[in-house]
Structure 1
Amino acid sequence: MKKIGFLSFGHWSPSPHSQVRSASDALLQSIELAVAAEEIGADGAYFRVHHFARQLASPFPLLAAAAARTSRIELGTGVIDMRYENPLYMAEDAGAADLISGGRLQLGISRGSPEQVIDGFRHFGHRPAEGASDADMARESSRRLLEVLEGEGFAEPNPRPMFPNPPGLLRIEPHSPGLRDRIWWGAGSRATAEWAGEQGMNLMSSTLLTEDTGVPFHRLQAEQIQRFRDAWAEAGHDREPRVSVSRSIFPVVSDLDRQLFWRERHSTDQVGRLDGGDARFGRTYAGEPDALVADLAEDEAIAAADTLLLTVPNQLGVDYNAHVIESVLTHLAPELGWR
């Protein structure tokens, strides 16, 4: 059994070929897709966060709005770039959104992906400490966020406050119990997956790894997942971790599907360069359901994960993306034993 959700980058473009032509369209349609996904039986609605881009950027208003319109589906991010975040302010926003959702938030965080601008985090007022890198800064912000989400008091109360304080040191409010266990690290390599396991964060792995060992993407990702689980066990955490992988999967069950994705039927892994290093990109799965069932049954990383996130082409609109999600749930999930 797997949880199956969607992951949207929330692209928008004024192009007449796009169903999402403004930031308003991207936000409102994201909420509508979360509602539609819940109605057809999906388990999660996840949203990417990119700054300085015509994409989704500020996740917490969106997550809170989607939470108010849904009742069951998990709501998450994949991922928030921690180089841009004030961890205490983020803890307040996350706590509020999680309480509105009734404890359904699943927050993916990480060092982030290649940026639209040079050192964009500096425009947000964040700079690495002397001798540290931006990756170090992201990990330190993540460590602080996890610490604050534990809910322990740390701030000395004012002896003459405006309102009465509870006894002892004060914590960030609102505090949402359990949110600390629903933080995921978006790992781009085997080493960062091990670090996530040591820290007690769930693992979120995408269709991209910033390393290449010559083996197929799904096997490299399966090795990453196993190293994460080994690190988790060695750290002695007292709960079972969760692992998600993302895939582009398009069952061809209509003429429109065939028109849009026939070129992807023979998709393969790609190897390239990213941030000065080797990277391996996973393939797109597109084709008739029977063929996809056979192909997906060989994907070792999907088999090792408890959660599958379907990357959706959001600019094709809510109705078409709901169709894609429903096609996976209907034509593939039962045959593969995911449901």
Structure 2
Amino acid sequence: MTKNIGFLSFGFWQPNNSMVKTAQQSYDETVQLAVEAEKLGVDGAWFRVHHFADQLSTPYPLMAAVAAKTSKIEIGTGLVDMRYENPFSMAETAMETDVLSKNRVQLGVGRGSPEQVKDGWQYWGYDYTEEEMKQVARNRALKFMDLLKGERFAEPNAQPMFPQGPGLRRLEPYSPTLQQRIWWGSGSQATAVWAAEQGMNLMSSTLVNFESNEPFDVQQANQLRAYKEAWAKSGHDFKPRTLVTRSIMPIVNDLDRQFFAEGQQTQDEVGYLAYHQNPTIFGKMFVGEPDKLVKELADDQAIQEADTVLLTVPSTLGLDYNVHLLDVVMKDIAPELGWR
């Protein structure tokens, strides 16, 4: 089955034990990786969003920079943490970014994951507990989606600064199709069904709630199937997309072997996230020579269910290495799997 293939970068930097030493270098190389990925035929450049960390944060300036240097590649997030967001400013910024990119934005949103600081959204002026934020984040996402419809809601000023026509005002610049390119980051079957009901595409990462004793890929595939079933009942007027993320590290030379041949997580693991009372299952890293990876990936049920696969890239290894990794996947693995 043909797949959209993208990369997902966290954009880490650190002064020691990393090829990427500074924020400046990280952002420069992230933009350049998108440029090189487009040349290789990669479909999407996606960026993780974390606050208070030595890695990529608020995504819109980066997305606009990528848009200015590329022409075709999708520009996505995985994901924007709604605990920190104001739906009105987010909608305006997201639509402006989409206009600048000529409608290439694929915006993943969700409740987010554990941050580097306790209740970091409170520094943004939002006085909620983590438990309260579960519903607040969903409500903000729904308001954000509502604003993207472009309906007019704001009472005009009787004496505006600039001439305008009669009637209520909406956020500008309006991007008519962005609403169909919003993704919800789901960790369970229940949230997958909820995303379908709200008209959002579905993105699922390398970890999901541990809801059965089945392997990670089977549990994730069950989420995707539940999502598709709920979408079919929803009555939405466009075809949804589904996405999974995988860590795929092909070994084709001695440097690959040095980095990844030993000490990697090559089995699913079960653990706990900071704010979860229930366990989470983490998907394994796929490491090996291309023919071995082709066989393993062909058996992955969630990949079979999804139309988009994101490859997490080891950003601390630098631009050249990540271009090499993407090149091997696109030339030696994707065609053998029928993704190309």
Give the shorter-chain TM-score range.
over 0.9
Aligned pairs (5 A) from 1:29-108: 29-108=29-108
Is 1:299 aligned to residue 300 of structure 2? Answer: yes
- 1:266 Cα deviation (Å)? 7.3
**SS at 2:272 equivalent:** strand
State the match for 1:280 in structure 2: 281
Aligned pairs (5 A) from 1:7-26: 7-15=8-16, 17-26=17-26
State the match for 1:222 in structure 2: 221
Aligned mates of 2:287, 2:325 — CA distance in 1: 11
State the match for 1:4 in structure 2: 5
| Mapped contact 1:153–1:170 kept (Cα < 8 A) | yes
Aligned mates of 2:21, 2:87 — CA distance in 1: 32
Aligned residues: 337
| Mapped contact 1:151–1:172 kept (Cα < 8 A) | yes
- 1:167 Cα deviation (Å)? 2.4
| Mapped contact 2:7–2:44 kept (Cα < 8 A) | yes
- 1:236 Cα deviation (Å)? 1.1
Residue identity matched to 1:64: A
State the match for 2:136 in structure 1: 137
Residue identity matched to 2:280: A
| Mapped contact 2:210–2:270 kept (Cα < 8 A) | no
Aligned mates of 1:94, 1:204 — CA distance in 2: 18
Aligned mates of 1:112, 1:264 — CA distance in 2: 28
- 1:175 Cα deviation (Å)? 1.0
Give the alignment's TM-score, normalised by structure 2. 0.97
| Mapped contact 2:5–2:43 kept (Cα < 8 A) | yes
State the match for 1:259 in structure 2: 258
- 1:128 Cα deviation (Å)? 4.0
Residue identity matched to 2:221: A
State the match for 2:325 in structure 1: 324
- 1:201 Cα deviation (Å)? 0.2
State the match for 2:240 in structure 1: 241
Aligned mates of 2:203, 2:264 — CA distance in 1: 26
| Mapped contact 1:264–1:284 kept (Cα < 8 A) | no
Q: Cα 1:269–1:179, aligned 2, differ >3 Å: closer, same or farther?
A: same
Deviation readout 1:95-116 (Å, 9 max, x if unpaired): 1111111000000000000121
| Mapped contact 2:265–2:284 kept (Cα < 8 A) | no
| Mapped contact 1:211–1:278 kept (Cα < 8 A) | yes
Larger mean CA deviation between 23-32 and 299-308 belongs to 23-32
Aligned mates of 1:166, 1:320 — CA distance in 2: 54
| Mapped contact 1:157–1:165 kept (Cα < 8 A) | no
Give the root-mean-square deviation of aligned CA atoms: 1.4
Aligned pairs (5 A) from 1:127-276: 127-128=127-128, 133-263=132-262, 267-274=266-273, 275-276=276-277
- 1:326 Cα deviation (Å)? 1.1
Q: 4+ residue stretches of structure 1 with deviation over 4 A?
A: none
Residue identity matched to 1:262: A
**SS at 2:247 equivalent:** strand
| Mapped contact 2:122–2:128 kept (Cα < 8 A) | no
Residue identity matched to 2:301: E
**SS at 2:169 equivalent:** coil
Q: Cα 1:251–1:97, aligned 2, differ >3 Å: closer, same or farther?
A: same
Which runs of no fewer than 5 residues in structure 1 stay unpaired? none
Q: Cα 1:265–1:127, aligned 2, differ >3 Å: closer, same or farther?
A: closer
Residue identity matched to 2:159: R
- 1:276 Cα deviation (Å)? 2.6
- 1:132 Cα deviation (Å)? 7.2
- 1:117 Cα deviation (Å)? 1.1
**SS at 1:263 equivalent:** coil
